[in-house]
Amino acid sequence: MLLATRHIFGTELWNKHGAIVLARVHLTGGPDEQLDEQSEQRFAARFYSPYIYTVYGAHLLAVLSRPYWGLGVEPIKALEHAYGAAGLKALVVTLAVTPLRSFAGVNLLKFRRALGLSAFFYIVAHLLVWLLLDVQQIGQIWADILKRPYITVGMAGFALLLPLALTSNNISIRRLGATRWRTLHRLSYPAAILGGVHYVMLVKGFQIEPMLYLSAILGLISLRSRTLGRKTAQPPSRVS
């Protein structure tokens, strides 16, 4: 018996002992699908196809090349903002994968783990610019985290994303087991909300762009909750 599990960083299948098995399965409450060993191998090859690494490569090149673009009269602030905005955009796109599949029939599941990790890498770059180029003093860093609410909120969001990125691999999935791993990766939703709130608090005065990001995050999480509720009311998809 295989149980389907979906999350912000990927889509996996589990056997009854909690071990991960990669296979194709209906995740929309449709009829069960019988899988043989060859089907599982074909899906594994597709899951690790070059396309997913193309997403990683595109994001990595964007991160490395960003300092060479025009950054204006305040390059450090501009770079800091660019990395943060890119991370938030990647989070929004990642959150949109499940609603797109459920409500529009667009299947981007094979890119979700890459998108989630790319969002994390952008946020790390955003944090490093702030730490190394902006503040530059260790004592001042801690003081800013405690003194400035928008930094406190941003650091809280990053703290929630860190264990998700560290466990977004098959070794961690096997060690944690299905239930604990699923529970841990639900932290992606409050992390995304905190990221949106951080952006809203960061800007001076009322600006529409941060509100659009936060609204998109809340809307996508709401759609995801509706999908989960609909699936909870139905028997879980299984493959024997």
- Digit-coded pLDDT (tens) for 134-174: 888 888 888 889 899 999 999 999 999 999 999 988 898 88
51 pLDDT higher than 50:
yes
- Most confidently predicted of 31-35, 61-65, 198-202: 198-202
Percent of the chain with pLDDT over 90: 28
Rg (CA), the chain: 19
Handedness of CA 212, 218, 221, 225 (dihedral sign): negative
Report pLDDT digits (tens) over 16-31: 444 444 433 333 333 3
Report pLDDT digits (tens) over 99-135: 888 888 888 887 888 888 889 999 999 999 899 888 8
58 pLDDT higher than 60:
yes
Q: Which of 233, 210, 229, 232 is nearest to 84 (CA)?
A: 210
- For the entire predicted model, the pTM comes to 0.72
Q: Residue 39: CB partners within 8 Å, gap ≥ 6?
A: 23, 24
**Pairwise pLDDT comparison (180 vs 20), residue with the higher score:** 180
